[in-house]
A and B are shown apart, each in its own frame.
Chain A
């Protein structure tokens, strides 16, 4: 299956629309260099998640040092026609850390585990297919 993405007007980032719990649509960056998906905590707050109850924490190595993020489990998450239940994500308070971005998170490589995918930067589309286990 082929799915289109759009490019950020200034920097060429790959932006895709994803769906959280069949209700919340978000624009996120597609970043295969990120090991795990990470979303803005405000999005989870709005979707009704209790931010005081993460299932865990994780340290993340960044270019500016180590950061601690919270880990949550989403009830349902959909991107590129693939729906995952109990999908674990990292959550970070973008606003509190001065990240005033218009996108609401990063879709990391973990989402693509068990799939074969190809990013076409000419047609601006990604083809993705699940692989048999």
Chain B
């Protein structure tokens, strides 16, 4: 995983059969299947083609700069007002 982080900063990496740490929170290794700055591109490229793996995950490799996005994100999802 450290090699992926070094190689693809600012990109999404698609990892097949990821291995997690003992807390099941952080990917420590896995099979690098693909990478792209465009997450949707990966989805179109791989949708339906991942059944050969037990699990997979998409992870964003953060660049070394501060990001505070929660304030933009949280307002989305507070209260459903009407089901159509």
Contacts and interface: CB of A to CB of B under 8 A. Distances in A.
A71 to B, nearest CB: 8
Contact of B69 (A31, A59, A92, A100): A100
Interface residues on B, range: 35 or more
Contacts of A112: none
A108 B80 CA distance: 11
Which of B18, B23, B72, B78 has its CB near the most chain A CB atoms (within 10 A)?
Answer: B78
A56 B40 contact: no
Contact of B25 (A15, A48, A66): A15
B24 interface: yes
Interface in A33-49: 33-36, 38, 42-43, 45-48
B57 A90 contact: no
A109 B53 CA distance: 31
Given A95-B39, A99-B73, A61 B78 contact: yes
A17 to B, nearest CB: 6
Contacts of A45: 40, 43-44, 47
Contacts of A61: 78-81
B78 A35 contact: yes
Contacts of A67: 76
Interface of A: 4-6, 8, 10-11, 13, 15-17, 19, 22-27, 29, 31, 33-36, 38, 42-43, 45-48, 56-64, 66-68, 71, 90, 92, 95, 98-102, 104, 106, 108
Interface in B53-73: 53-60, 62, 66-70, 72-73
B77 A66 contact: no
A90 B73 contact: no
9 contacts: A15-B25, A24-B56, A42-B39, A43-B43, A45-B40, A63-B75, A95-B39, A95-B40, A101-B73
Contacts of A4: 23-25
Contacts of B43: 42-43, 45-46
A34 B39 contact: no
